[in-house]
Every structure is written in structure tokens, then in C-alpha cells.
Structure 1
């Protein structure tokens, strides 16, 4: 008996060691790994996917997929593989966690079988944002080369890369009207333009509108994010290169040459290295440039519009931008105000984003709860329009078939921040206070009794919209029919 107990102990210890080895290896790789049992309960969740999804492995393991992700069960690839036992290879996925975080991944989902018995399902995934950018850049470069070979440099088709015009800019505030007027005055000229705006304010939308309203609209428009491309690659992309300029160099058409008399948009130019800024300055001063490895001067014909997401004075003080280059780039300066300084634009932006992201098959028009709309109006929106759009898209996903978008559908981080701001302002949100809910119930009930269940009259007396009263009646569980007798 003692020998048998020792063998069982040794076997269990060996199994524990093996599991520890496997977990250590899976937590050290650069791909996310998610493993579920056949019913969809998570049995392993490594550190990489935890970073991608912003979740804690301890809060995920043991829970069902439906508790972690806000997506319909019939669209879950894990559950589909559980049903079919057929692998799904390298698919792009966009989804939301229950905390409202938007995730972009490329994943393969594979069944683990033993003699036709399904033991588990695992996914191996990697973050897709950078892959998507690289793919897009590759496609653009291939298109550029193909067009140049076919002699289509001046084809109007190139202007399709700038899709927006001034009519696409959503906003009726005086601040935005001033920016648009300035941009419209500047669009017909040749002077360089510098656009300043915080992240998410819509700088490229404005720049594309300038291009499409200018005489250059029949020439190419190319946008480059200076912070996303290494310095040596960015220099070759801009100036081009000749064969032998560096090891492995092949003749390369630069963006300056390709754009010709079109518009080059340099986004986040404050992220460009000072050395490359000096080369750009020379090209702007001389209106000529040289390919990497060449001594031949080529005329610079394009108009350069650049943007920064840091205050210009801060850029200069911290030497993020050369002072002489700044003056060359900012012959015309445009400043896009943050959303918190043009809050009158928030309602029309909300309406636009709800329409944009609502499911096409939906039978009812989604609307924002009036109480939440007031909270949106007072919130600071640090991420500006981009944060607002992401919030609306996340809420629509969480709401499902419901008509009203409420606080319960907000991403968790946003809900917490809005509640904190509300408390700091000395206001108590009704959804957090049972006593206020009781008071609201009493007020609505009294108005309905007085007007015998007539929602329109009751809403008029309360000074709110009929649809707002309808929502409150539903939220409070009040039966309006009982007052109509």
C-alpha cells in the first residue's frame, strides 16, 4: 500500500510540474492564449491576452465566455468550434469586453480532440491594430507603384483617398464655424498649413476637406503619421531612394515625387526626429529635395499640411519641433477646439453616431436617455470626438435590441468617471439613490393620475418630452393604463 501511495503522489507531483511548465511557457510568449472547456468556461487565460483585453486572469478563469464578452453567443468563435469541432484559422475579430473596452485581434481557434471526444478549445491571437496599419500602408504603396507604372499620376482617382468635405464636419458651434471659415479661406492658396488640436478632435477630417476644396483635389492626397514610422523608413518614404543608397536599397519612388502637385499631410509632426526635421526644412526652403543616396535635385511641388497634438509653445519649449521649421509650416495656423469648449455640438454628434453605428436590421430608432444626455453635456471628454464615438458604439453594442441607451450601457471606465464628476459638482445621480428613485416614482405617478394616464399631458406638466416620460414609466415599472379608467 505504501508503494502505491508513493506512486500516486509521484504521479500527481509530476503532473503539477508539467502544468507549471506549460503555464510558464504560455505566459511568456507574445501571443494571447485563451483555453475553454467544451461548454465555454475558461480554463486558461495567459498574460498577453490579459494585456490586450485589459482583464485580470484571476477574474476570467472559471467564468463563462458570455460573462466576459458582450457579443451574441451565436457569433462566438469558441462556442462555434465547440459545436462543430472544426478549426477557424486566422480571422480578424472586433468585439467589446463586458467593461466596454474595444478589442481588435487576429485569432485562430482550434479544437483539442482525443478519439473524436472534444476536450477543450483554444485560441491563439495577436493584437491587430498595428497589423492593420501595416497592411493598409502596404496596399497604398502597391497602388502607388501600379499607378505610376500605368502613367496614372494625375488621375482623379487619387483624390478618392481624401474622402471628406466640409459638409461632413458635424458641428454648429461658433468655434467650429470659425475654424471652417479659416480653412475655406486657406484652401485655395499654396502656403503651408499647421493644424493644432488635441487627439480625437478631427484634424484629418479638416485637412481632407481642405484638399478636396482646393485646386489640388485632382492630384493625390497622402496622410503620414510621423509617430508610427521609424526615422530611417520615414526618410525613404518621403524622399525616395536610389539603388545602393544603403545595403539592399532598391530604386524607390518617394511620397514627395508621387504626390506631385497634390497634398501631403504630416500628422503628429512633433514626433518626427530633429534630424529629419532639418532635412524637411531644407526641402521647404529650397523647394527642392534629393532622394536618399542621390545628388540630383528634384522640384518639390506638393503642398504640405501638418498637425500637432501638443500646444505649439510647449512643442517649442520642449524642443519637440525646430523653431525655424515651425515658422515654415505655420504660415497659416488653424486650431480645432476640444469638445469641452464646444459642447453645443455634442447633441448633433450623438445623433450622428447613433445613426452611424445602429444595426442596419434594427426596427426601432435608438435614442439617448435624456438624463444621460445631460451628463454627456457636462462631461469633459478628454478623448474628444473619438471618445464620444467609441462610447456610443459601445453602448449600442451593449443595448442589444433595447431602444434607450442608458447609464447601464456605458463602458465601466466612463460610467465611473461621469459619476465622479457628478459628485464633485454637488449633484447626486438618481440611479445611485433609492430615495430619489422613490421620489421620481411618486412625481410621475401623481402626474399620470391627474391626467388619467395621458402621457402627452403628463409630460407637458412635468416639463419633459413625451418620449422621456415613456422611458421613465418603463424604467420605474409603472402601468400607465391603470390611470385611464
Structure 2
């Protein structure tokens, strides 16, 4: 061992913990001698797990253990912040030594010393790393309206499921088949749609996006297929989105909200690649890759008659399911880093740390709005801070948490309904409606029948039955 290593050991003086991993990153052994060293973790519970699953803010590049294996040499680091799976963050001094057997590196052992001051341990859970995201997309980063803005590099994640999807998109870059993206609201489906286009051979072609839930059926049809002058009142010669996306990709968001009748009209375009404008007799050949997205699983959309089965077979050739944020809690930290950096710039703030109780709330909350909701939380919280504050505290987001809990626990109308036989419930409602109609019409059965939209004879029979 070199004199430099010996000096480093002298500087450490004592060891708070020992960790051993194999060359696949699986923890084989772990022990701590300091009770403050990851106080909520139990050694036996992390044996057999991957290092970067237990310590959520490190990866192949930043971990001294991984570095010792990859570089086949002793790695020394005087300061390294590590966040464990419970949300506890400490600062350590480490030396990691590769383990060799039969001439091959089979793992590494790390000796660690906790150098976190007690005050800092209680004060915040982590310090954000602005430098990581300075090159990432920010609100001011925009291209033309017919260009995809985001790439796979812009998808921020430490989650293996997301990384697997990104790898699949890369692997299928030369595939021209339609893509269907499923994910709950706020999971970033449009971001993935942009990335699919930019990872494909069509990246230099147009990328045209349309939310199918935002436009009425008659207007959506002309938007998709185009129109000719005189085809309807006020119509002009105008290309549709299929024509505009020729040579590129057409992203149809919330495809499950597209009217069934319009889905049928899309089949010819999907099957044969020909589109005809409204009111036109001629057809035009288009070369368009369809990327669809839905906040409901496609098979459930078929069962609920929101998606035609025949169009499903056309659209759902390549399928990606984006997991919700509550199933990828490892992504809370990097996403917080990104959003805090963004809103520091936008709002002229200087938040560099996040308190432990804020982080604990974020990692225990179920996130029905997913990443969009996390974005909202952080924008709200940072806007409540002052320019001289550096720590995002719980009181900065407390009102928003209170608002959410009020919505979650407010009894719904269904909670107010007393359970009873359905036949009796229907008769009670019917009796009340008939009584009110008779009262408001001064006993005129004919007028009451018109209000209730039922035959007069039927109403008279029910009046006799209920004796209102």
C-alpha cells in the first residue's frame, strides 16, 4: 500500500462502518460501529440488495466502491454525501479497496467514517447539486412548434424500470411501428413521446402533437384530416395534422378520449396511409408514425368502449408503461434537484438544502399527480421562501399539504348515502320528484308529465301508487 494511502488511513483515525459488494454491486456484508451511522437501517435488511438501491443518490460514477472495481485500484474520498433508502443523508470519508481472486476483481470493500456534524444531520436531508442539471432543459429551451423538444437524456431518473424503457427506445430506434405510451396523469408521457421521435430515424422530420380530449369531435376531425373550402361553413383549404406530420411523427395524447366514430375514420389512414380532407374527393399518401398516449391501460379502454379493438391492434404495436412516481421513489431526489434548480432561476431564490421532514413527506406521499404534482409542490414551496433562505422547510409547503388532506378526507356524496335496497331507493327518489312536479304545477298532471318527460297516463298511475 502506498504512503499516500497510509496517510489517508491516519487521517481517518477510526472506522464507523464496513461495506463489501461483489462485482455486480450486490451488498454481501455490512456492519456499522457508530449508532449515528444510518440509524434507521439494519445490516441484515440490506444484504443481497444492490448498492445503488440502498444508497439512492450514488451510481457507477459517483460511488467509491464501484470506482474501486471499475478502475481496479484503491479509491480514496475525503467527502461523500450518501442518502440511504430511509431518507437519511450523511457525509462520509471513505477508502474503497478492490478485492481480487484468481487474478480477477470480484468485488470491493469500503471503510467509512461519518464526518457529518450532529447539527447538520438534524437540519437537512441533502444538499442539491445544481451543476448536474445546468445543461438540462429549462422553460426557456424551445424549438419550433413542429419539432420534438426533448431527448432521452432529458428524462431524469435513477429508477431501473425507467432506464429499461429508455434502453428499449434506443434499441428500437430503427423501428417504424406505432408506439403506445400508458401512464397515469403527470408521469411524463409527452416527454417520452418527444424522446421516442428524437431517438428514431425520423428525428429530422416534423413532430406534431394533439391532445384528443381538448377538441370537440367535429372540429378534431378537420384538425386531423384537413378541410377544403366550402366543406362546411367558414371552411378554408387547410392541411390536417396527418399532412403536417408527413415524414415524421404524430403524437395523439389521451387517445382514449377520441370519439369512437372518429377512431373508425382513422383506420384507413393507419392501414393504407392515405388521408382525404373534409369535402375533398382526392386522397393524399402520407408517411406518418403514430405515437399514442393514454392515462388508462389500453385493454381497460377497450373493455369500457373508449378504444376500438381494431384501432388498438394498429396503435399498440410497441408498448411502454410509465410507472407512477410512488413506484419509483429513487427518482424523488434527482427530480427535486432539477425542479429546485429551475425555480431558483425563475424565482430568483437560493435554495440549496431540503429539510428532512420535507423529504420524509415526499417519500411517503402517494403522488396521485405524479411528477407534475412534485413540480407544483416545489414551485409553491420555493415561491414561499425569501431570497436569503437556503433551506426548503416543511412550513413552506404545509398549507398545500393541508389543502390536499382536506380534499382527500372530505366525505363525498356517496359517503352520505345510506345503504338500502336499490328498488326502495329508486322509489323514494321517484316519489320526491313527482311530489315536487305536482306542487310546482299546482296539481296540473299534464304540465307535470311534460316536466318529468313521461306519458301522462304513466304519471297518473304513479301518483295513485305513491299517493303524494
Q: What TM-score comes out, normalization by structure 1 length?
A: 0.52
Partner of 1:81 in structure 2? Answer: none
2:256, 2:162 → 1: CA distance? 24
Whole-angstrom distance in 1 between the partners of 2:269 and 2:247: 15
Which of structures 1 and 2 has the larger relative contact order (alpha carbons within 8 angstroms, sep 6+)?
A: 2
Which residue is equivalent to 1:316?
A: 302
Look up the match of 1:256.
242
CA deviation after TM superposition for structure 1 residue 397, in Å: 0.3
| Paired position in structure 1 for 2:397 | 410
Q: CA deviation at 1:356?
A: 0.6
CA 1:395–1:287: 2 relative to 1, 3 Å: same
Report Cα offsets for 1:57-113 as digits up to 9, x if no partner.
Answer: xxxxxxxxxxxxxxxxxxxxxxxxxxxxxxxxxxxxxxxxxxxxxxxxxxxxxxxxx
CA contact (8 A) 1:375 1:418 kept: no
Structure 2 counterpart of 1:219, from 200, 205, 216? 205
Q: Give structure 2 stretches of 5+ with no counterpart.
A: 1-142, 409-468
CA distance in 1 between counterparts of 2:349 and 2:175 reads 48
Cα deviation for residue 218 of structure 1 reads 1.4
Contact 2:351–2:392 (Cα < 8 Å) also in 1: no
Give, in angstroms, the shift of residue 281 of structure 1.
Answer: 1.4
d(CA) in 2 for partners of 1:282 and 1:359?
48
* Residue aligned with 1:224, SS: strand
- Alpha-carbon shift at residue 335 of structure 1 (Å): 0.5
TM-fit CA distance, 1:417 = 4.9
Between the aligned partners of 2:207 and 2:407, the Cα distance in structure 1 is 43
Give the 3-state SS of the residue equivalent to 1:250 in structure 2. coil
For 1:354 and 1:339, how far apart are their aligned partners in 2? 17
Matched, 1:350 2:333: no
Q: Is the 8 A contact 1:183 1:334 kept in 2?
A: no
As a proportion of its length, which structure holds more helix? 1
How many residue pairs get matched? 265
Query: Tell me, what secondary structure is at the counterpart of 2:384?
Result: helix
Matches within 5 A, 1:74-473: 161-359=147-345, 362=348, 364-401=350-387, 402-410=389-397, 412-415=399-402, 417=404
What is the alpha-carbon distance in structure 2 between the residues aligned to residue 286 and residue 242 of structure 1? 22
| Cα separation, partners in 2 of 1:159 and 1:212, compared to 1, 3 Å | farther
Partner Cα separation in structure 2 for residue 219 and residue 158 of structure 1: 12
SS at match of 1:374: helix
Show CA shifts across 1:5-54 (max 9, x none): xxxxxxxxxxxxxxxxxxxxxxxxxxxxxxxxxxxxxxxxxxxxxxxxxx
Report the Cα offset of residue 213 of structure 1: 1.8
Q: CA deviation at 1:179?
A: 1.3
Q: CA deviation at 1:283?
A: 1.2
Distance in 1 between residues matched to 2:287 and 2:310, nearest whole Å: 21
> Could you tell me how far 1:188 is from its partner in structure 2?
2.1
Contact kept in structure 2, 1:391 and 1:411, CA below 8 Å: no
TM-score, length-scaled by structure 2:
0.54
Deviation, structure 1 residue 247:
2.2
Question: CA 1:229–1:187 in 2, change beyond 3 Å: closer, same or farther?
Answer: farther
**Aligned-partner SS, 2:228:** coil
- Give 1:364 shift: 3.8
Structure 1 unaligned segments of length 5 or more: list them: 1-156, 422-485
Q: Does the aligned pair in 2 maintain the 1:158–1:220 contact within 8 Å? A: no
| 3-state DSSP of counterpart to 2:305 | coil
Residue 415 of structure 1: how far off its partner (Å): 4.1
The range that moved more, 388-397 or 252-261, is: 252-261
Counterpart-to-counterpart distance in 1, 2:402 and 2:295: 26
Does structure 2 retain, via aligned residues, the 8 Å contact 1:159–1:218? no
Distance, in Å, in 2 between the alignment partners of 1:160 and 1:243 is 24
Which of 1 and 2 has greater Rg? 2
* TM-align CA RMSD: 2.1
Partner-residue secondary structure (3-state), 1:276: helix
User: Partners in 2 of 1:268 and 1:327 — Cα distance?
Assistant: 17
Could you tell me how far apart the structure 1 residues matched to 2:347 and 2:254 are?
Answer: 39
Structure 2 partner of 1:96: none
Q: CA deviation at 1:221?
A: 0.6
SS in structure 2 of the partner of residue 264 of structure 1: strand
- Contact 1:159–1:219 at 8 Å: present in 2 too? no
Q: Give the secondary-structure state (helix, strand or coil) at the position aligned to 1:195.
A: strand
State whether residues 159 and 212 of structure 1, in contact with CA within 8 Å, keep that contact through their aligned partners in structure 2. no
Structure 1 residue 411: Cα displacement? 5.4
SS at match of 2:377: helix
3-state SS of 2:277 partner: coil
- CA distance change for structure 1 residues 361 and 347 in 2, over 3 Å: closer, same or farther? closer
* Residue 78 (structure 1) aligns with: none
Do the aligned partners of 1:358 and 1:366 also contact (CA within 8 Å) in 2?
A: no
Q: How many angstroms apart in 1 are the aligned matches of 2:357 and 2:332?
A: 14
Answer whether contact 1:171 1:348 (CA < 8 A) is retained. yes
